[in-house]
Amino acid sequence: MIFSRPRAGFARILTASALLASLVFLSGCETSPATGESFFTGGLTKDKEAALGAQEHEKILQQFGGSYDDPELAQYITSLGNLLVKTSETPDDKFTFTVLDSPVVNAFALPGGYVYLTRGLLALADDEAEIAGVTAHEIGHVTARHASQRYGRAVGTSILAAGVGILLGSQEAAAAANQVGAMALQSYSRDQEFQADLLGVRYLSRGGFEPEGMADFLTKLQADSRLSARIAGNPDAADEFNIMQTHPRTADRIQRAIAQAGERPVANPIVGRDVYLSKIDGMTYGDGPNQGFTRGREFLHPELRFAFEVPLKYRIINRPDRVIAQHPDSSIIVFRQGSKPANVSLSEYLTQGFGAKLPLKNVEQIEVNGMDAVTAQARVKGQQGEHDWRLTTIQYDEKTLYNFLFITRPEATGAQALGLKRTTYSFRKLSAEEAGQLKPKRLRIYTVRAGDTAEKLAERFPFEDFKLARFATLNGLDPKQPLKAGQKVKIIVQ
């Protein structure tokens, strides 16, 4: 009895909110020519999609290190992409295909026909059919307008939240609903991934490619993800690496898409292995000069002209805006560039900028290889418990600072302290000659000779660990499988 009246009132609120949402839904509903489905776009028309894609394009280039500087490869990928677009339900739509200068294995698409493939992904593929499969899948996301559907659902959540918030007089309730909706819409659903596979199969078949290549390449992606997890020392987290994190697909699901698509078998399907391998021969592998290089435990940046070394057992992760190094005991190093106004001292920068709002103590002026620096420490309480933080700022030149943040659990601080101190004092400037000698790794196409084995070729790889596994994964081979004279394989050279 006590809850009967509030329950009825809440029902009226939900009814009113639902009516508001349905009215907006009817005014913003469109039909996808690729799938025939009607969906709520939230007012995101195709023209607005194009404008949004163009706006976000520059941000993507900045985030991923820009486009890869190889006009011939760029034209090749664009031609392949446009061929597939011509087989779609929207053959006259404008698409922009970009090879990103990133070693991360990934592919994705933005509204308005912006499709991205990283050079890390291109290195893993073995032929044109495999890259066509990835590209066709991403085109499918665009032609099905999955981004607009996600946007529409986000707007729908906002409308319902706003309606409830207005009727209840609760801005907090509306804000909470918005946050939940945003978190739920961060990646494509499994249904959307399957739909993109269906459309990809359709475009591949019409373009003269065998769609089975999609499943074959997915197997390679999964192998690469498992290897990345092993290299990181976390083999149980394979799904957290590369494209598998945002594309929850399986080979079985692709086979189901092929069967459901009902396309006729392709006579004399395009494979294009030789032409594809010729396009990626000489491509940068791993980090490029503008991103800095990892050489064992040392990180060196030839363009910014600095280097430093991390302690034993730390794994270096190079990101566009920072360098991270992780230890198995959860200790972490974060390194990034900074800047300060000319009238602010290093100590003021550390305490009022870099370390603002932290309970800093033991602020100390030091010198690192002829450069002024300042360091301080703090014990910070967070959701993961207490951690010891050590902040160090180094004045590289008049305009440029570099910041180290060392985070350790209190029980590990003592054991880590000396190694982390050595990392601070390892920071140094590179001479022009030393910087000029730093070159990226390159992917090369090698023709197997009599007597060559996977073990022998892998031993040449310029890595300290997992050499055979890297060779096998890069080439999609069983490491125990004998190589044949005349066979073309990918190798990595320094």
pLDDT digits 0-9 by tens, 248-275: 556 677 777 777 766 777 889 999 999 9
Q: pLDDT value at position 322? A: 94
What's the pLDDT score for residue 56? 92
- Nearest-angstrom CA–CA distance, 18 and 10: 12
pLDDT at 271: 93
Report residues of the chain scoring pLDDT below 50.
Answer: 1-27, 156-186
- Each domain of the chain, given as residue ranges in start order, spans 46-148+184-281, 295-425, 441-493
SS3 234: coil
pLDDT at 259 (0 to 100): 77
Query: What's the sign of the alpha-carbon dihedral 120, 66, 239, 134?
Result: negative
Instruction: Output the CA–CA distances (angstroms, integers) from residue 391 to 351, 363, 434, 491, in the order listed.
Output: 10, 9, 28, 41
- C-beta neighbour count of 113 within 10 angstroms: 22
Residue with tokens 């163009």: 54
Residue 248: the pLDDT is 52
* Burial of residue 321 (number of CB atoms within 10 Å: 0-12, 13-18, 19+): exposed
pTM: 0.80
CB 16 within 8 A of CB 163: yes
C-alpha–C-alpha distance, residues 104 and 402, integer Å: 25
Question: Which architecture does CATH list for 295-425?
Answer: 3-Layer(aba) Sandwich (3.40)
Q: Which CATH number fits domain 441-493: 3.40.50.300, 3.40.50.720, 3.40.50.1010, 3.10.350.10?
A: 3.10.350.10
